[in-house]
Structure 1
Amino acid sequence: MFWLSPLPAEDLFTLAGPEGRHAATVRRLRPGEPVDVTDGQGRVLECEVVAVRRDEIDCAVRQRADAVAPRPRVVIVQALAKGDRGERAVEMLTEVGVDEIVPWSAGRSVVRWEGERGVRARERWARTATEAAKQSHRLHWPVVGELVGPGELARRVSAATLAVALHEQAELPLVGLVRSQLPGVAARDGAAAEILLVVGPEGGLADAEVAALRHAGAVVARLGPTVLRTSTAGVVAASVVLAELGRWDGPA
């Protein structure tokens, strides 16, 4: 899968720049091979390679498709994590199909995004999401949001149709929760419905954070009998929710 925006109206076009170079020199595509080109917003051109040069390829459009954005939207608020765990979470969350990933500076997050370091870190998350979207052949690419703190997180929770904070000591299980809430979700916001899942850092959610999330309207739920790393908890939670929504039955 390659990216181009806006997609050309012509049925014969050249894929150049970094994408064309990757197609020609890394993927080593040859005339006659199929290639898909998307704008990351649901539109895709199913093409055939007709010519290859050093840094670009010529593509003939065989079919055009426009996938409807899946609803409700699934948003993961991912606490900052040390090392490459944050980027690993972004990669897997993109692959499973979430619609937005919001970095969150939690109270127990060891890593802090400040100044230029924070800008570069968010750019890495965005690049990771882009590469994962292409690798997994997603037609709707996820948004990597701006870093949020307690105040903005509370606002996102309050605005969501359904918000769930993941906590290993919660009594309510996540499995089945979304399915039971679907009629209310659809009735309240319809096509604009949004399900938001909050994932804590390595040390877990602080008691004050749990209280603040509850106050903002979040349901506190557990994934299962084991405690997962922050880099995998969101992926597992998203998988449960997306399966219950039936989102894995169609295009991403």
Structure 2
Amino acid sequence: MTLPVYRHPDLAGVRAGRDLVVDGDEAHHAVVVRRTRAGERVVLADGAGTSALCTVTAAAKGRLEVRVEECAADPEPLPRVSVVQAVPKGERGELAVSVLTEVGVARVVPWAAERCVATWKGERAAKGRAKWEATARESAKQARRTWFPDVAALASTDDVVALVGETDLALVLHEAEGGVAIDALDLSDVRDVLVVVGPEGGLSDAELDRLTAAGARTVRLGAEVLRTSTAGVAAVAALLSRTPRWGA
């Protein structure tokens, strides 16, 4: 069984033999929820590729003391995959973020698409992003990731169009005839992939036209029509299965 991962915000320059302290919510989860005790081993990760294998030297409520055994710096996994996720209703947004994190995306961009049932405005937008960030952080630790995904601010369609223009390969999931099958895509020499997932009500014609005009390609995932909360993870898994990240 792999060791549990906890986030430590600053591992820069950390070397074997150094003592570190984990406090706050991370320590509470380790000590109270997981019942971590002195002598056990854990992994600390800063979310940007650096990790430290540690032995727990003391555990008390709200505080975990560890001694570093060894450190590692993992390169960022390539291709780097970002997902533009139209904001779903209810808890489906957190579900989408959780499974996208587990499968290995680098960034999740919440999108206020034209036909979104849920709307994020003002304070609700800040709370929605905070929930997605917390979900991504916890899912990254569960998946034993050393690189944690970024959750961007709520994007407009103009923002998404700009992202399409900045990306090596931009894909829009769409069930209509004419979209290319994922297994027909050429992923050689692609470093950045952007996957756009529409809302429950589907993309509007205007949105689809703007995205494809900016350079995005429409892709299909077969005959089935997936929910907005699961379409992204299905697409990303299909893409990564054809890259060195998943042994292709």
Question: What TM-score do the two structures reach when normalised by structure 1?
Answer: 0.91
The match for 1:204 among 181, 191, 202 is: 202
Contact 1:173 1:223 in 2 (8 A): no
Within a 5 Å distance, the mapping from 1:14-25 to structure 2 comes to: 14-25=21-32
Gaps of 5+ in 2: none
State how far apart, in whole Å, the 1-side matches of 2:82 and 2:193 are: 6
Q: Which residue identity lines up with residue 88 of structure 1 in the other structure?
A: L
Quick one: distance in 2 between partners of 1:14 and 1:160? 39
8 Å CA contact 1:170, 1:221 repeated in 2: no
Partner of 1:237: 235
- After superposition, the C-alpha distances for 1:50-107 in whole angstroms (9 at most, x for unaligned) are 2222221221211111100012210100001111111110010001000000011111
Counterparts of 1:84-99 in structure 2 under 5 Å? 84-99=91-106
CA RMSD of aligned residues (A): 1.6
Q: 2:174: which partner in 1?
A: 167
Give the secondary-structure state (helix, strand or coil) at the position aligned to 2:188: helix
Over residues 135-192 of structure 1, what are the superposed CA-to-partner deviations in whole Å (9 max), with x where a residue is unaligned?
A: 11111000101111111111111111110100011433442244x2424x3xxxxxxx
Q: Name the aligned partner's letter for residue 39 of structure 1.
A: D
Aligned to 2:7: 3
| Amino acid corresponding to residue 25 of structure 1 in structure 2 | V
Is 1:219 matched up with 2:223?
A: no
2:43 maps to 36
Q: 1:121 aligns with which of 116, 120, 128?
A: 128
1:166 and 1:199 in contact (8 A); partners too: yes
Letter in 2 for 1:96: V
- What does residue 246 of structure 1 align with? 244
For 2:181 and 2:65, the matched residues in 1 are separated by 48
User: Is structure 2 residue 138 aligned with structure 1 residue 131?
Assistant: yes
Whichever residue aligns with residue 114 of structure 2, its letter is G
Q: Single out whichever of 197-206 and 48-57 deviates more from structure 2.
A: 48-57
Q: Is the 8 A contact 2:182 2:219 kept in 1?
A: no
In structure 2, what is the Cα distance between the partners aligned to 1:248 and 1:12? 35
Checking the alignment, whether the CA contact within 8 Å between 1:108 and 1:201 is kept in structure 2 is yes
Alignment check: 8 A CA contact 2:167 2:193 kept? yes
- Gap regions ≥5 residues in structure 1: 186-192
One-letter amino acid of the counterpart of residue 30, structure 1: R
**Matched length:** 241
Quick one: which of 159, 162, 183 aligns to 1:155? 162
SS at match of 2:225: coil
Q: SS at the partner of 1:20? A: helix
Higher helix residue share:
1
Contact 1:174 1:237 in 2 (8 A): no
Amino acid at match of 1:116: E
Q: Runs in 1 of length 4+ with deviation above 6 angstroms?
A: none
Pairing partner for 1:182 from 177, 183, 188:
188
Q: Say if 1:44 and 1:66, in contact at 8 Å, map to a contact too.
A: yes
Structure 1 residue matching 2:195: 3-state secondary structure: strand
Does the CA-based 8 Å contact 2:83-2:195 persist in structure 1?
yes
Assess, with a 3 A threshold, how the Cα gap between structure 1 residues 41 and 174 changes in structure 2: closer, same or farther. farther
Provide the C-alpha distance between the structure 2 equivalents of 1:245 and 1:95, rounded to a whole number of angstroms.
Answer: 17
Aligned-partner SS, 1:18: helix
Q: Given the two structures, how large is their TM-score scaled by the length of structure 2? A: 0.92
